Structure 1
């Protein structure tokens, strides 16, 4: 298998719905930024993978035709919130297998205000089985489904381990401190844990408004190359993908009667275990992590799924400051989805952008000191989870 390098990354500032350019304009801007960062032309790209969730078929072509029309394969990818990293997974496979030497990966989203919802209501929804379990375990039909899923998972952790609501508030406050140093983040205002607790309750005792990520528009991209191509063209080869795994649900997702499993805890744990086994690197070796904090509750349970702390140990991990600068491992230095924003198709590539700069040492005020090993976790319900391990060469 060929070694795969991230030679270029690009990202545009994330924005609220209605405040961004149309999807194809955002996407083309991010793609051009990645090409410029890599030092290659679009004519060098042999394949492209374009990820988005809300859009008609072949939006990837609409986005990339504005960059160039060279007749290359353009594959459109939709895997819910893990769409961007699924596109990355496919691009890495193309290079690792020798099918291509230079591939562009693009993620973008033009979102609408408000809670996520289905577009097609005249056919069975992919979430029918998830909804049935949630109805049985959680109830609360008046609360939007995504909040019920992840709030229910957080509540399950609270009931199982005695986790206080303040733990989720501390995660959100940490996200705001990190985002304050990220010029591309949507929300850069710092908030305290008390500010988070004082925000309007959307599920009494379980979740306040600030514990949920906002709908966001944006785009991000990466250029992946083989080692031979990088050497031949004199491209930078200072960050490579050391291991990667993608998982989907098992029967236990629905049979275990556990809201944490329903929202991907087992998928995350299995994908991380595969990555650690592939690379020979464990969670204690990580310097920086970008994980899928669509809700503060999911960040907390993901600490345990990725092995960053023991099961049931997330509250102590947070209180000890082991999830931020000066602690065990810096999580979401970008501000994460909670502060940076979550344009669904772009999120996985935005994580790649952040970790690439961290390993290059070019992350500015949010730089993690001496970062050499980085882990990316991107989760989509329905479901799919992609975990990627990057290393500095």
Structure 2
């Protein structure tokens, strides 16, 4: 099994749908940026894994053909919001198995305005089972489905442990504070707790400023074996030490718990697998890029990833342990809430941020003394991918 290195990363600034370039242009730019960062020509790439959710078949080829027409395999990947990390998972497997030595991973999304919606109305929805559970637990609603699910999960947490009315809003405030230092982020202006709470109500405890926006963007990474990188003079200082992907189990649907419906158990299982494989614990982690599609999911993810014991997330936030000066800096990039969430690109944008953190290249966002960095990316339907990166050498 070859040891895997992240030789290069790149991304384009994320944008709202009204200000975005087309997916192929963004994708090609991100791919070129990662190749340049790695110091690798496209001709050296042996395989490419390309992730996107909304698009026709072979959009990956359309984005990469302007970069090079070398005849390599281009594999298109769709796993909802965990698409970018799923592509990374496949690329790592290809390298570790010895099937390839140098692989490009690309994710992009050209999203439309408004809430996520199903594009195919003439066939069964992959969310049919999820919808049945949600409706049984909390009834019918006209709110966007994702907000119903994640808002309901936040309400379930509050019902068990209690939450002050401003706790979730503090997550949005923290997100904007971090994004202010990220030139790739969509929303960099600060907000106050009062502004977050005064924004329109969406579902349950969620207001509009607690929900990630529709975003367009692209990000990429070059993944190599340790031996290949050393032989060709590429960077070997960031390794993928452990990675796990999980999907739903019976607990998602049988326990009538909205927290489990949105992937709590998937995330916890993936994190535990990663910690066990790497021989580390959550107490060793100082920086995390986690899946904050809604403030409620950031709060749940603190506990699913073991960053704080179950039932203590509110204290974790109140004590400032989720930001600079605290125990673990969560989403230094601004996260999905403020950097943006172009579905296929999100996992690779998280990868880029953590690689920059481990290299010491995160500028004003830099977390001091980072040797390990954790990435958490989920997609309903469902898949969770947790990845541990390590500074080596």
- Could you say which TM-score interval applies, normalised by the shorter chain? over 0.9
Equivalent position SS for 1:186: coil
The residue aligned with 1:293 is 292
The residue aligned with 2:132 is 132
The residue aligned with 1:145 is 145
Equivalent position SS for 2:321: coil
Q: CA deviation at 1:315?
A: 0.1
The residue aligned with 1:370 is 369
Equivalent position SS for 2:17: coil
The residue aligned with 2:337 is 338
The residue aligned with 2:91 is 91
Cα distance in structure 2, aligned partners of 1:165 and 1:307: 24
Equivalent position SS for 1:10: strand
Paired residues for 1:342-353 under 5 Å? 342-353=341-352
The residue aligned with 2:33 is 33
Cα distance in structure 2, aligned partners of 1:114 and 1:201: 15
Q: CA deviation at 1:278?
A: 0.2
Paired residues for 1:1-40 under 5 Å? 1-40=1-40
The residue aligned with 2:276 is 277
Equivalent position SS for 1:223: strand
Cα distance in structure 2, aligned partners of 1:349 and 1:265: 22
The residue aligned with 2:219 is 220
Q: Which runs of 4+ in 1 moved over 2 A?
A: none
Cα distance in structure 1, aligned partners of 2:118 and 2:258: 21
Cα distance in structure 2, aligned partners of 1:265 and 1:274: 14
Q: CA deviation at 1:167?
A: 1.4
Equivalent position SS for 2:153: helix
Judge conservation of contact 1:140–1:148 (CA < 8 Å) in 2: no
Cα distance in structure 2, aligned partners of 1:273 and 1:164: 29
Cα distance in structure 2, aligned partners of 1:118 and 1:28: 27
Paired residues for 1:1-393 under 5 Å? 1-203=1-203, 206-393=205-392
Q: CA deviation at 1:164?
A: 2.4
Could you tell me the TM-score, scaled by structure 1's length? 0.99
- Compute the RMSD of aligned alpha carbons: 0.7
Cα distance in structure 2, aligned partners of 1:196 and 1:141: 22
CA shift digits 1:199-247 (9 cap, x unpaired): 12223x6111100000000000000000111111011111000000000
Equivalent position SS for 1:222: strand
CA shift digits 1:7-37 (9 cap, x unpaired): 1000000000121111000000000000000
Q: CA deviation at 1:165?
A: 3.2
Cα distance in structure 1, aligned partners of 2:14 and 2:299: 24
| Structure 1: runs of 5 or more not aligned | none
Q: CA deviation at 1:251?
A: 1.1
Cα distance in structure 1, aligned partners of 2:24 and 2:326: 40
Equivalent position SS for 1:66: coil
Equivalent position SS for 1:18: helix
Cα distance in structure 2, aligned partners of 1:332 and 1:201: 24
CA shift digits 1:56-106 (9 cap, x unpaired): 111001110010010101000000000000000000000011111000000
Q: CA deviation at 1:140?
A: 4.0
Q: CA deviation at 1:193?
A: 1.7
CA shift digits 1:304-352 (9 cap, x unpaired): 0000001010000000000000001000000000000000000000000
CA shift digits 1:131-183 (9 cap, x unpaired): 11111111242111110000000000010101223111011100000000000
CA shift digits 1:266-324 (9 cap, x unpaired): 00000000000000010000010000000000000000000000101000000000000
Cα distance in structure 1, aligned partners of 2:293 and 2:221: 22
Cα distance in structure 1, aligned partners of 2:51 and 2:322: 29
Cα distance in structure 2, aligned partners of 1:232 and 1:342: 36
Cα distance in structure 1, aligned partners of 2:119 and 2:97: 36
Cα distance in structure 2, aligned partners of 1:65 and 1:347: 22
Q: CA deviation at 1:195?
A: 1.8
| Structure 2: runs of 5 or more not aligned | none
Cα distance in structure 2, aligned partners of 1:157 and 1:163: 8
Cα distance in structure 1, aligned partners of 2:56 and 2:202: 32
Cα distance in structure 2, aligned partners of 1:73 and 1:219: 20
Cα distance in structure 1, aligned partners of 2:360 and 2:198: 37
Equivalent position SS for 2:18: coil
